[in-house]
Structures are given as structure tokens and as C-alpha cells.
Amino acid sequence: MAEPFPKKPFGWHIAGRAWVSAGRALVVMLPFYAVMAGLMLALGYGLHLAETKLGVIRPRNDTILTEMVMRESRYYALGWLARILLLAPVAVATFRYVLVDDGPRLSPTAMLRVWGWTLGLSIFSLGALFLTGVAVAPSLGLLVIVLKVFAFGVPLLLAPALPAIAAGPANGSRVEGALEDWDGNIWRFVVAAALTIGPVYVISWRIDALIAHGDANALSTFYETLPGLAVTAVFSVFYVLLLATTLAWCHAWAQQRKGAVVAAMAPAPAPGRREPTAAR
């Protein structure tokens, strides 16, 4: 279970705990993460075969923003949705490992809650990006910007709710609680995420540069092969592992802070009256 912070943490304190938890989780649950990476590889290979059979031409700038404005955007959206839902168990197991120390024993109830939450957010985000592809006219440029902000901003704002959904009881105040977690913690959480996800992104970018050797076609060709799909699968699982540990520790700090605020706002005992103490 996540231990409380001894004092108010900075972003690098949260990132440090996230890296330590990620390393421990990787050691303890390595078979689970390996299985999930294998499933991601199988899904990637299946999507590649489907693309070949359907004659789908993948764009050179293979990003979600580019794919959502392509003619085959519906196909790409389904592929992204399948990947996200497949990676959800990785996030749940990691949340529970950090927060309640039972990561390998996934709770079916928590898994279904996170799947439902993730499905709703994914459909909202992908739908907003799809609409950006529909509204490509110059006169609708402002609408495109707003849709992109909603597509990425809303899931980001609600991300702190995921650990509570995976490790806590079901309740109707998750959205409100997630938004409250950001109060006074915006830069703390942003720095923590940058110090965990950032280094891995730089490493993956350097690997891409070594593979491409200045040729974008060579890079796209590599990621259509089994080794390339395997690299994508491993990095995807590791990205989610790091992001989940970061969110878990952000959630742990937010709950600790809320507890401290509640204690500070509790009414003082009446004069001359002793508060009850626990029996020894």
C-alpha cells in the first residue's frame, strides 16, 4: 500500500516514487506484463494483416491526429480503441499494486469499472478527433482547435480518477474528486509525469532515429515487421506501467492532502472537554 509522504512533495518526489514502484511492479508482475506485451503484439499483427487485406494505406506521419483525418479514420479509431482497452488491465494491476498491494490479483469489479470508464473517455476523445477531420474547412479552424483541446484535455483532467476507480469503492463523485485532485497540484503532477514518461519518450525517439537513418520509409517499414511490432508492444506496456504508477502516487498525495485538510478544518474540542482516546 502506498505510504504517505512525510512532507509536501514536489513533482520530482512523486516521480521518484513512481520510478521505484514501476521497478518493483515490473519485478513482481513480470509474467503478467510479458503476457500483456504478447497480447499487444498479437493485436498489432492482427491489425497489420487486416490493413493488408483491406488495402488500407497507413500515412507516413503515423500519429493519431493524422489518422483521424484520413479516409480510413473509422478503421484507425477501432484499432486505437482495441489497443486502449487491451492496455487497461495493465493500468488496473499497477494501480492496485501501488495502492492496495494486490496487483497480480485483478479485481473483476475494478476491471469492469475501469473498462467502462476508459471506453467512455476513448469514444469521447476519438469522436472529437474524428470531427476535426470532418471540419477541415479553413472557416472552421477555431472549431478544430476546440475539438482537439477537448479530445486531449478532458481525459487528462479526469485521469486522476482512474486510480480511485480501480482501487476504491464505487461512488458517484469520481469526476468531482478527480477535478479536486488538480487543485493546487497542477505543476506538481505535470512535472511528475514529465519526469517519468519524458525519459522513455526520449529513448524511443532515439531508437526511431537509429532505425530510420534519415529515411521515414525505413522507419514505417520496420514497424510493419514482427520485430517492430514487438518493440511497439513492449514500449506500450511500459508507457502504461509508468503512467499508472505516476497517477497512483498523484492520487495518493491528493488523498493525503485532503485528509490533512479535513483534519485541519475539524472543529476544536469544547473547552474543558477531553476527546475520547483509543483503548490500549
**Residue 275 within any structural domain of the chain:** no
**Residue 267 within any structural domain of the chain:** no
**Residue 266 within any structural domain of the chain:** no
All residues at 6 or more sequence positions from 130 whose CB lies less than 8 Å from its CB, including other chains: 68, 73, 74, 77
Angle between helices 73-99 and 11-28 (to 10 degrees): 90
CA distance 237 to 38: 10
Give the count of domains, the chain: 1
Give me the residue label for grid cell 479509431. 77
Q: How many CB atoms lie within 10 A of CB 257?
A: 18
pLDDT of 184 higher than 90 = no
**Residue 24 within any structural domain of the chain:** yes
| CA dihedral of 112, 116, 118, 121, whole degrees rounded to 10 | -170
Write out pLDDT tens, residues 87-107.
988 988 898 888 887 666 777
CA distance 250 to 241: 14
DSSP 44-81: HHHHHHHHHHHT----SS-SHHHHTTSTTHHHHHHHHH
> pLDDT-derived band of residue 36, with 50, 70 and 90 as boundaries?
very high
Cell triple for residue 47? Answer: 491489425
pLDDT of 204 higher than 80 = yes
By residue range, what is the domain housing residue 192? 11-260
**Residue 3 within any structural domain of the chain:** no
Write out pLDDT tens, residues 130-150.
776 655 555 555 666 777 777
**Residue 92 within any structural domain of the chain:** yes
**Residue 272 within any structural domain of the chain:** no
> pLDDT-derived band of residue 60, with 50, 70 and 90 as boundaries?
low
**Residue 268 within any structural domain of the chain:** no
